[in-house]
Structure 1
Amino acid sequence: MRIAGIDPGATGAVTVYDTDLGTLEIFDTPTATVRVGTRQVSRILPAAFARQLQLHRVDFAALERVHAMPKQGLASTFAFGHCYGVSEGVLAALGIPYELIEPQKWQALARVPKGKDGSRARAVQLFPAYAELFIRKADHGRSDAALIAYAFTQIGERAA
């Protein structure tokens, strides 16, 4: 089965975890910088996002369930919510079955250590052949996406 772990957001990513082969395919959320009023903001490109999911032959998706964060501005909250909504809408439009998974749940299932770089460190530990994809601090979206997909496989194993 090919499970997509989706970390929504303009700096998010998608990891497609092939559970039969144990391989990962990772792509960053396709975005474009656009002018909104006087600011430049990143916006997800829905058609490009949909095309990537199709190209990677996703069977199922685990989408991180996100919500507004304290002290986050209105514009950032809207932008983040927009990415989340586009992600869920694209999955539905493509007919890809999906489940929402809370950050606390996938982090517990993947046994992510505390700290700013816990997710990147755990992704390198679980997927050493892909370590170069998690090296930079900016790769946190990739590591989160990989761990979201991995965590979903743990849900099935624990239920069995």
Structure 2
Amino acid sequence: MALSRSTSLLQKNIVFRCLAALSVTPGIAASAQVCSATRTFSSGSDEVEKAKLAAAAREKYGKEPTIFSKIIDKTIPADIIYEDDKVLAFRDVNPQAPVHFLVIPKEPIIGISKATDEDTQLLGYLLNTARKCAVSEGLSNGYRIVINDGKDGAQSVFHLHIHVLGGRQMGWPPG
């Protein structure tokens, strides 16, 4: 993976740590590793392209571990703000608002459209955890909750995740 001169030292460190963590995982294709790893530090301007690449990699390589499963098992570091036996919440490394964190289930669900009736309790728990974390992050004036689903929804990591964004006035429509 080539890194440009404009890539910050922090970004390079994240790249190398992600790739190092991924390289010790047997059975994962290198291109799928790069697709998953680069999600954590790329800009928000190319989310649609990243979603297309992630969807193609998922089709080609199947149910490989995602960057989020590696955060759950602590092989990739994250700034965790909440964790229990069901969910994990951590700050987004490419924040799109002054406060931007993700809430993910520890039990992988590919996306909201792939959830079943059996997931109903966990889905409610995810939203309630997002609410509690928003309170603890000081988002008393409001916040936005976003779930991207599938290629057309710009989902770039195929592990259900809730974005919580706040700390500023949000615009509408979102995009």
TM-score by structure 2 length?
Answer: 0.30
| Larger gyration radius, structure 1 or structure 2 | 2
What is the TM-score with the length of structure 1 in the denominator? Answer: 0.32
Of Structure 1 and Structure 2, which has the larger fraction of its residues in strand?
1
- Indicate the structure with greater helix content: 1
